[in-house]
A and B are shown apart, each in its own frame.
Chain A
């Protein structure tokens, strides 16, 4: 037992008596954090002028708009999602679509709140649908994609209003129909390019159809917009 005590107590002290024939070279790297530069970056964005912050976000939003215009299978839209663009587009569209409440005779066009609710509620439902079908895309990424792909329809709304300024006869209706159809198919195609990749191949049509229905309804609201002149 005493031997055990002798051995157990100065256990590490005995190591100093051990002679090593040669120096065992110790290799490796030691990172000594000096001044933590990443933290400095975060704090420095608080110090930068507001113009820089806003411009950076605007550039990110603008880059995504370009991605929607030329839909390629790039993952930028999915990786850095933001909801500024969809909010901007939704508010613009709802403002332009709201029927004048001047005619209180019957129900007129959609009110601002109705368009807002349809767009956001519809996006949420479609996102839930694609997630329930086993999609790998996250909730906000899908909202981001669906919101940004409303942009062709917003452009079509602006064009329709300009056309309606010129008159609301048959010719203007045909022109509006063509514009809305083209932009609605562009929206569906753009969002499908982003969303369909995240689905297993035997369910792609099941995910694309609600998107088609969603943009069809928005396109219908744009096409049937009549100014309250």
Chain B
């Protein structure tokens, strides 16, 4: 601070140009004048040492996620600049790979957020996993449609691109609006009951995004027009991703009243089940839909034989 005042005294006559330089938005000059922008330095240090230097430099902020949330931003880059969003993509290839593997294999002792995310939530994983899932659902639904209708000559193959937009809407709103609602709910509960663990909104988006990663191989398995395979894969996928979510959010709600805890947990699991079965029913519904037109078909293809066994009505 003494150096700061000397600096001001020395350059007093150039006051106008100094403020002019400061107003240019150059990063180095801002860091000298602006006290809040001292955290620009840890932003640059973060690239070499991910966690520790950031926590040391931002002591009042690092330990309290709530003040991060309430202040709205961790650093002083305003939200309309590019740099503000760049810090959400501060991950490397091996980190993304570890996070995806960690979401595929949940373990009761390991908390996904504490182990893998560790104060560095990224938006790369959730966004591209959702994008991949959207296209995989649309493509695999199309393939399974084609395979089911393989034996019928009157079927005309149409690539249905409307379904891509519907899938995109469903999956992106699940992966981004549900964490928003859950975050709001937990913030409200935090104000009433002091919880030991609280997550920021981005960490919740991360957990939801990475938990959807296990659905990608499951959806690929749904191509096989065999009901048992589909049910098996959907149950396995639900268990894995559901347990990731449950294990992550259990420490955040367990200090609350039991009824609230049960309500929140069932809501999380129920929405997850709804997503999985909704996608399966809407995009892969061809087995039941095909039954009525081919009911009187006497073709001896194996698929129609299977349709007969599926008509339980």
Of all chain A residues, the one with the shortest Cβ separation from B88 is A132
Chain A residues positioned under 8 Å from B156 (CB to CB): 103, 226
Given A210-B128, A217-B135, A220-B139: A226 touches B159 (CB 8 Å cut-off):
yes
In the complex, what residue of chain A is closest to B161 when comparing beta carbons? A110
Query: Which residues of the partner chain A approach B161 to less than 8 Å between Cβ atoms?
Result: 107, 109-110, 114, 221
Beyond A132-B124, A210-B131, A213-B132: 19 further Cβ-contacts under 8 Å? A99-B158, A106-B158, A106-B160, A110-B159, A129-B89, A132-B85, A132-B88, A132-B89, A133-B124, A134-B86, A203-B93, A210-B128, A213-B128, A213-B135, A224-B142, A224-B157, A226-B156, A226-B158, A226-B159
CB distance from A57 to the nearest CB of B (A): 31
B125 → chain A, closest Cβ, in Å?
10
Q: List 26 A-B contacts (CB under 8 A).
A: A106-B160, A107-B160, A107-B161, A107-B163, A108-B158, A109-B158, A114-B161, A129-B128, A131-B82, A132-B89, A133-B89, A134-B86, A134-B89, A202-B93, A205-B93, A206-B92, A206-B124, A210-B128, A210-B131, A213-B128, A213-B131, A221-B161, A224-B157, A224-B159, A225-B159, A226-B158
For B143, give the chain A residue with the smallest CB separation.
A224
Inter-chain CA distance A217–B161, complex, in Å, is 11
Query: Separation in Å of the A58 CB from the closest CB of chain B?
Result: 33
- With A and B bound together, what is the CA distance between A114 and B293 in angstroms? 31
Q: Could you tell me which residues of chain A, from 89 to 124, have a CB within 8 Å of some CB in chain B?
A: 99, 103, 106-110, 114
A204 within 8 Å of B by Cβ? yes
Task: Name the residue among A99, A133, A204 with the largest chain B CB count within 10 angstroms.
Answer: A133
A140 located at the interface, meaning its Cβ lies under 8 Å from any Cβ of chain B in the complex: no
Question: Nearest chain A CB to B283's CB is how many angstroms away?
Answer: 13
Interface size on A, residues (CB 8 A): 28
Residue among B93, B135, B157 with the most chain A CB within 10 A?
B93
B91 beta carbon closer than 8 Å to chain A: yes
Say yes or no: A107-B89 contact (C-beta < 8 A), given A131-B82, A210-B128, A213-B132: no
6 nearest interchain CB pairs?
A224-B159, A202-B92, A132-B89, A205-B93, A107-B162, A110-B161
Question: In the complex, what residues of B have CB within 8 A of residue A110's CB?
Answer: 159, 161
Hey, which chain A residues are within 8 Å of B135, CB to CB? Answer: 213, 216-217
Contact A202–B94 (Cβ < 8 Å): yes
Closest A residue to B47 by beta carbon equals: A134
Chain B positions near chain A (C-beta within 8 angstroms) = 82, 85-86, 88-89, 91-94, 96, 124, 128, 131-132, 135, 139, 142, 156-163
Within 8 A of B (CB), among A190-229: 202-206, 209-210, 213, 216-217, 220-221, 224-226
B86, A206: Cβ atoms under 8 Å? no
Residue among B91, B158, B162 facing the most chain A CB atoms (10 A cut-off): B158
How far apart sit A213 and B139, CA to CA, in the bound complex (Å)? 12
Complex alpha-carbon distance, A140 and B226, angstroms: 47
Q: State how many angstroms separate the Cβ of A76 from the closest Cβ of chain B.
A: 27
Residue contact A209 to B159, C-beta cutoff 8 Å: no
Shortest A66–chain B CB gap in Å is 31
Structural contact, A209 and B128, CB atoms closer than 8 A:
yes
Contacts of A220 in B (CB 8 A): 139
Contacts of A28-63 to chain B: CB distance below 8 A: none
| Chain A residue contacts of B94, Cβ below 8 A | 202
Q: Closest residue of chain A to B94, judged by CB?
A: A202
* B163 contacts across to A, CB distance below 8 A: 107
Q: Once the chains bind, are B157 and A206 in contact (CB under 8 Å)?
A: no
Q: A110 vs B139: C-alpha distance in the bound complex, in angstroms? A: 14
Complexed CA–CA distance, A206 and B139 (Å): 22
Instruction: Give A109 to B156 CA distance when docked, in angstroms.
Output: 12
Closest to A107 in B: B162
Cα–Cα distance between A110 and B91 once the two chains are bound (Å): 35
Question: Which B residues are in CB contact (< 8 Å) with A225?
Answer: 159
Interface pair B82/A206, CB less than 8 Å apart = no
A109-B159 in contact (CB<8A): yes
- Residue contact A226 to B139, C-beta cutoff 8 Å: no
Residues of B within 8 A of A129 (CB): 89, 124, 128
| A132 surroundings in chain B (CB, below 8 A) | 82, 85-86, 88-89, 124
**Given known contacts A133-B124, A224-B142, A225-B159, A204 and B93 CB-to-CB distance under 8 angstroms:** yes
Chain A 71-97, CB-CB to B under 8 Å as 1, else 0, gives 000000000000000000000000000
Task: Please name all residues of chain B whose beta carbon is closer than 8 Å to the beta carbon of A205 when the two chains form the complex.
Answer: 93
**Chain A hits for B92, CB < 8 A:** 202-203, 206
Contact in complex: B91, A206 (CB < 8 Å): yes
- Chain A residues with Cβ below 8 Å from B158 are 99, 103, 106-109, 226
